[in-house]
Structure 1
């Protein structure tokens, strides 16, 4: 299946959930939650900073859907080789809670990668990810793991080192 089909399926799932609307007296804003994540990584000559604010709408019976924008900056300073990247993009996410403490998720992400290796500017390129995840959640916070079914570790592939990544979300 191609990436566009994944995107269409995810969009269909997100918008079909609206048929499970809340009571007619409820206001749209009563079901909105805002949050996201912040990523910070520091090591010897290496820095990564990322922010990803998002908004989700709580539908009926544990279904939620929303969107996120993201920005990541990475820099590695080395004696012979410097590396910098600026990555900006967005994602659509659907979440379902079959149990009070469990959250299943599907997220489609598109990222535009701009990077410099040494003195060479690499042509910008787009990377897609389709993440399927499971998390434990309590209150406003969920902690779990996700898997990118479109993961590509090629030279213009995923910006992440593995198809498996941790998930930490907070929505208020």
Structure 2
């Protein structure tokens, strides 16, 4: 009986030592001091998007640079510009020009939530056998989104709260995204 008590006590002490060492090693990961920066540009990240699709009489080009300012590890605010040119030979052409303001919230390192307001001007021309039909309008989007973040890349989706299928530039309120900032 005494031998079992000693063995159980040794196992318990080894378990405590292992847990203590593990906790110490794991806690060392976050205790390193971070360099404090006070310059404005030290908190700015640049990113954006570029798209190109070319086919048989079809061209789609999108350029969308953006920048964000990181207030801290949780909050960032930024702005972006957008230009898109879409053309289907002998049928359709469109120019989209505008900008956006985005707020980012990172409640956890791997999770990014966003709120974005986008205002773009859309100018389209439809061509049929008899004439050209031109349409020009402003499109406003208010997007809430969320995604998985790994370093400077976030993959997720956003939803346009102001979506109107009869008046909107996009075909759906739900839009997946990949967001990259350097």
Task: Please say whether Structure 1 and Structure 2 have the same fold, judged by a TM-score greater than 0.5.
Answer: yes
CA distance in 2, matches of 1:28, 1:160: 36
Shift of 1:76: 1.7
Shift of 1:45: 4.3
* Secondary structure at the counterpart of residue 170 of structure 2: coil
Alignment correspondent of 2:180? 170
Q: Is 53-62 or 40-49 further displaced after alignment?
A: 40-49
Alignment correspondent of 2:85? 73
CA distance in 2, matches of 1:69, 1:28: 21
CA distance in 2, matches of 1:87, 1:147: 20
Alignment correspondent of 1:5? none
Uncovered stretches (5+) of structure 1, i.e. residues with no partner: 1-23
Q: 1:85 to 1:44 in 2, by over 3 A?
A: same
Q: TM-score, normalised by structure 1?
A: 0.78
Alignment correspondent of 1:138? 150
Q: 1:63 to 1:112 in 2, by over 3 A?
A: same
Alignment correspondent of 1:64? 76
Does residue 1:159 correspond to 2:169, yes or no? yes
CA distance in 2, matches of 1:27, 1:127: 36
- Cα deviations by residue, 1:30-73 (Å, 9 ceiling, x for unpaired): 10000111123345543322111001000124100010000011
State how many pairs are aligned: 145
* Secondary structure at the counterpart of residue 42 of structure 2: helix
Aligned Cα root-mean-square deviation (Å): 1.9
* Secondary structure at the counterpart of residue 30 of structure 1: helix
Uncovered stretches (5+) of structure 2, i.e. residues with no partner: 1-35
Between Structure 1 and Structure 2, whose CA radius of gyration is higher? 2
Q: Which has the higher contact order (CA 8 A, sep 6+)?
A: 1
* Secondary structure at the counterpart of residue 168 of structure 2: coil
Alignment correspondent of 2:27? none
Q: TM-score, normalised by structure 2?
A: 0.74
Shift of 1:115: 0.9
